[in-house]
Amino acid sequence: MTDLRIPATGVRAVLALIFETAGAESGEATEIATNLVEANLAGHDSHGVVRTQRYVEWSRIGDVHFGRHIERVIDADAFALLEGHHGFGQVLGREAVEVGLEKARMAGVSVVALRNAGHIGRIGGWAEQACAAGFVSIHFVNVKNSLLVAPFGGAGRAMSTAPVCIGVPNGDNDDFILDFATSQIAEGKALVALKSGKQAPPNALIDGNGRPTGDPRALYGNIDPRAVADPRGGDGALAAMGDHKGSGLGLACELLAGALTGSGAAGTNSNIHNGMLSIYLDPARMDDGHGWSAAVAEYIAFVRATPPARGVERVLIPGDPERARRIDRTANGLPLAQGVWDSIISTGVGLGLERDHLENLARNPT
Ligand code: NAD
């Protein structure tokens, strides 16, 4: 099925109205909408607007709350432990990065632990926020109580999709942004496949017998794709990336972002929240005159000059694909599967908004 193309500004306006109607104050509604649309602009549809239905449902049942902000539980010179109080991750993530940068400006380096945050979405966005301020950042993330991934050698679930992200600034809109889930695919990519009636890559999941499969129903069960999809519904799992290495990195995220922060490692209890352990470095403070900035730029140029393998146009650095997609999608609109768009509109309709008003707003945002 051909994807729709809807202007990013229109989708943002629709989402902001939906979140405001669901109970967010207008600034927060816009921040959540903007963050989700930014993930789609970067090409990570799994962490974008497809989440709308689920976020509204989570707020309705009280798993996540509008209007909450970080609380500094421990506030040392170069370290902070932040309690998210199950607020929206789009707000808490931005606030946690601001704390990390504030401390790294003073001390040259900082470590910030965020716990009990609602879904903080695409982690690369937080590294981009740090890069924009000139800081290196490293993020370990886990998803408390989200058992989705089979560990290396296992046929059952023991981990969340636990993403890792590293950002290194490299001047004007050319930062190194490495950002990935430690599962073969992010859960949201299986969600997009389910909602679009497509298959995920063939080794992305395992079925209930531990056999590789690309069928997203291994995760969600055999449900109506229009229903709110619950990844606990299937008897299979996502596969860990990179065999024992990716599986080990995922376990490290569970320990650092879950056990160490107090957010909790993946398990089987109650509702789902993110923990994140972040390290911020001021590269200028580490420079004894060797010129870190030129060294980064030179090495990135060197890597890009690697002869491409057959069938590959050119060698990219992490962050390049997102930049290319942002240019295309800003100009041409967000490609959205009809099923994803339908789920957004029906979420708004479920809150009492008029279908025609939402469709008009998407095409003619004011
Ligand atoms: P992915 O497999 O698409 O990998 C993305 C990374 O690989 C990016 O750094 C990208 O720049 C780089 N990349 C892609 N193609 C490249 C190429 N040809 N050459 C060089 N680099 C290339 O990512 P994913 O594992 O599907 O994760 C998607 C998103 O899901 C991420 O933004 C992640 O933060 C997010 N996520 C969030 C949570 C959460 O709980 N909040 C959980 C899991 C994943």
**Residue 115, domain CATH:** 3.30.1370.60
Whether 18 maps to a domain, the answer reads: yes
If you average pLDDT over every residue of the chain, what do you get? 94
* Domain shared by 98 and 172, yes or no: yes
Whether 29 maps to a domain, the answer reads: yes
Whether 280 maps to a domain, the answer reads: yes
Confidence of residue 332 (pLDDT cuts 50, 70, 90): very high
Q: Would you state the pLDDT for residue 56?
A: 97
Task: Among 268, 286, 304, give the residue marking a domain's end.
Answer: 286
Rg, C-alpha atoms of the chain:
20
**Nearest ligand 1 atom to alpha carbon 312:** 18
Q: Tell me which of 208 and 117 has the higher pLDDT.
A: 117
Whether 124 maps to a domain, the answer reads: yes
Encode pLDDT of 270-311 as tens digits: 677 999 999 999 999 999 999 999 999 999 999 999 999 999
* Domain shared by 50 and 162, yes or no: no
Q: Residue 178's domain spans which residues?
A: 71-183+240-286
Determine if ligand 1 sits within 6 Å of the CB of residue 321: yes
* Domain shared by 13 and 122, yes or no: no
Confidence of residue 192 (pLDDT cuts 50, 70, 90): confident
* Domain shared by 91 and 36, yes or no: no
Please, are residues 11 and 362 in contact by the beta-carbon 8 Å criterion?
yes
Encode pLDDT of 179-191 as tens digits: 999 999 988 889 8
Whether 140 maps to a domain, the answer reads: yes
**Nearest ligand 1 atom to alpha carbon 321:** 11
Q: What is the mean pLDDT of residues 78-89?
A: 98
* Domain shared by 150 and 246, yes or no: yes
* Domain shared by 138 and 245, yes or no: yes
Whether 104 maps to a domain, the answer reads: yes
With a CB cutoff of 8 Å and minimum separation 6, the contacts of 249 are 162, 164, 182, 242
Q: Would you state the pLDDT for residue 1?
A: 54
Please, are residues 134 and 283 in contact by the beta-carbon 8 Å criterion?
yes
Other residues' Cβ atoms within 10 Å of the Cβ of residue 353:
17
Determine if ligand 1 sits within 6 Å of the CB of residue 47: yes
**Nearest ligand 1 atom to alpha carbon 42:** 32
CATH code assigned at 345? 1.10.1530.10
* Domain shared by 32 and 177, yes or no: no
Q: What is the mean pLDDT of residues 26-49?
A: 97
Determine if ligand 1 sits within 6 Å of the CB of residue 185: yes
Residue ID of nearest Cα to ligand 1 atom 27: 180
**Nearest ligand 1 atom to alpha carbon 185:** 26
* Domain shared by 359 and 276, yes or no: no
Total domains in the chain come to 2
Q: Would you state the pLDDT for residue 223?
A: 82
Task: Among 253, 286, 319, give the residue marking a domain's end.
Answer: 286
Determine if ligand 1 sits within 6 Å of the CB of residue 322: yes
181 CA → ligand 1 middle, Å: 6
Determine if ligand 1 sits within 6 Å of the CB of residue 120: yes
- The percentage of the chain sitting over the pLDDT mark of 90, rounded to a whole number, equals 84
Whether 109 maps to a domain, the answer reads: yes
Encode pLDDT of 214-223 as tens digits: 999 999 998 8
Determine if ligand 1 sits within 6 Å of the CB of residue 246: no
Residue ID of nearest Cα to ligand 1 atom 4: 180
Residue ID of nearest Cα to ligand 1 atom 3: 180
Q: What is the DSSP string of 312-330?
A: -S----TTHHHHHHHHHHH
Encode pLDDT of 122-164 as tens digits: 999 999 999 999 999 999 999 988 899 999 888 889 999 999 9
* Domain shared by 137 and 266, yes or no: yes
How many helices (H) and strands (E) are present in the chain, helices listed first? 12, 13
Q: Phi first, then psi: give them for residue 202, nearest 5 degrees.
A: -60, -25
Please, are residues 243 and 108 in contact by the beta-carbon 8 Å criterion?
no
* Domain shared by 258 and 109, yes or no: yes
Whether 315 maps to a domain, the answer reads: no
Please, are residues 175 and 167 in contact by the beta-carbon 8 Å criterion?
yes
Determine if ligand 1 sits within 6 Å of the CB of residue 267: no
Encode pLDDT of 224-280 as tens digits: 877 778 888 999 999 999 989 999 999 999 999 999 999 999 887 667 799 999 999
Q: Which of 140, 180, 189, 271 to mutate to test the pocket of ligand 1 (most atoms within 8 A of CB)?
A: 180
Task: Among 286, 301, 320, give the residue marking a domain's end.
Answer: 286
Determine if ligand 1 sits within 6 Å of the CB of residue 124: yes
With a CB cutoff of 8 Å and minimum separation 6, the contacts of 120 are 89, 90, 92, 93, 114, 126, 141, 274, 276
Which residues sit opposite 74 in a β-bridge? 81
* Domain shared by 24 and 127, yes or no: no
Determine if ligand 1 sits within 6 Å of the CB of residue 180: yes
Please, are residues 190 and 216 in contact by the beta-carbon 8 Å criterion?
yes
Other residues' Cβ atoms within 10 Å of the Cβ of residue 144:
25
Q: What is the mean pLDDT of residues 94-118?
A: 98
Other residues' Cβ atoms within 10 Å of the Cβ of residue 320:
16
Confidence of residue 14 (pLDDT cuts 50, 70, 90): very high
* Domain shared by 9 and 157, yes or no: no
79 CA → ligand 1 middle, Å: 27
d(CA 157, CA 232): 10
